[in-house]
Amino acid sequence: MKAQLHTREIDPAEGRWKSRLLNLLLRLLVKSGHGRRIDIRKLRKQFERLDGQAPKTFPTDVHRSDVNCNGVAAQWLTPAHCRPERVLLYIHGGAFVAYTPEVYAAMVASWCRPLKTRALMLDYRLAPEHPFPTALHEALDAYRWLLGQGFKASDIVVAGDSAGGNLALALLQRLRDEDAPLPSCAVLLSPFLDFTLSGASALDNARHDPIFTPAFAIGIRGFYAPAESHGQPAVSPLFGRFDGLPPLLFQVGSTEMLLDDSVRAAAKASAAGVPVHLEIWKRLPHVFQMIAALPQAQAAQRNITRFVNQYTAWDG
């Protein structure tokens, strides 16, 4: 039975000039250097510089500690006043090849406080040194570790952005196929779900996307998985089955090349009976939620909090 698809186009007036300035800077500093010939060392240096711009004062009431989850490196973020039985399992983006732990810790910690939850941030091994299926297997291992530690699936929320959104959806589909207990819901920020780049927005938004180019998307996907696997659901979860999945929230920018990854996935999930919320944020860049100075990022966080509280027993 088809479930209702809640679609919203969001264009708040507050912060509009900031987002326009951000888009301009991204075009000049990021998109201009995104060609098909990708130097992994240089790309990772860019991510390191981005990570160095994370807030220097991490919240003192959020404790950070490293943890080994069945051989998978991760970090706990634990607010002082959290409910320890709650877990937000966060799977980071970074085009499968890079990680910015300080930027992600700042964003995820800001989610943890209103939700009164801990977060487990995965530090999965990166491509091209560790290509598919390493990252997906490590996400599975970490989820199983949580269950083994006594956490109830109903008290776990899975979230991920970009490449991490790909891994989050592939994780849900694999858990469903294995008849494993599923998390209560999932939050997907600008997920990269279609390695074949078959969505209309991959071309239609190529000029408008302030970060990505078709050449970069074509180049980066080869570091994670070979071309012959790009249509497989484990690599492109858009082509997987959506029946039986938990409620999903998609947040994506209207000018992103990846816009149709979220739009098509939301439609397929709804057709399969999954409760889906799709938010299309006008003229906002890829994973804008990481930019704490944007009022739109704060508004997106409030929507995430409402969604999670709607599909868990966490409200309170």
Residues annotated as catalytic (active site), given as ranges: 162
Query: Could you write out the three-class secondary structure of 151-217?
Result: CCHHHEEEEEECHHHHHHHHHHHHHHHCCCCCCCEEEEECCCCCCCCCCCHHHHCCCCCCCCCHHHH
**Sheet of 5-10, strands arranged across:** 5-10, 276-281, 248-253, 185-189, 156-161, 87-91, 118-122, 72-79, 62-69
- C-alpha 44/C-alpha 195 separation (Å) is 21
Kindly write down the DSSP assignment for every residue of 7-66, as one continuous string: EEEE--STTHHHHHHHHHHHHHHTGGG--SS--HHHHHHHHHHHHTTS-SS--TTEEEEE
Angle between helices 40-51 and 101-115 (to 10 degrees): 50
CB 111 within 8 A of CB 289: no
Distances (CA, A) of 78 to 108, 113, 184: 11, 9, 20
CB 143 within 8 A of CB 135: no
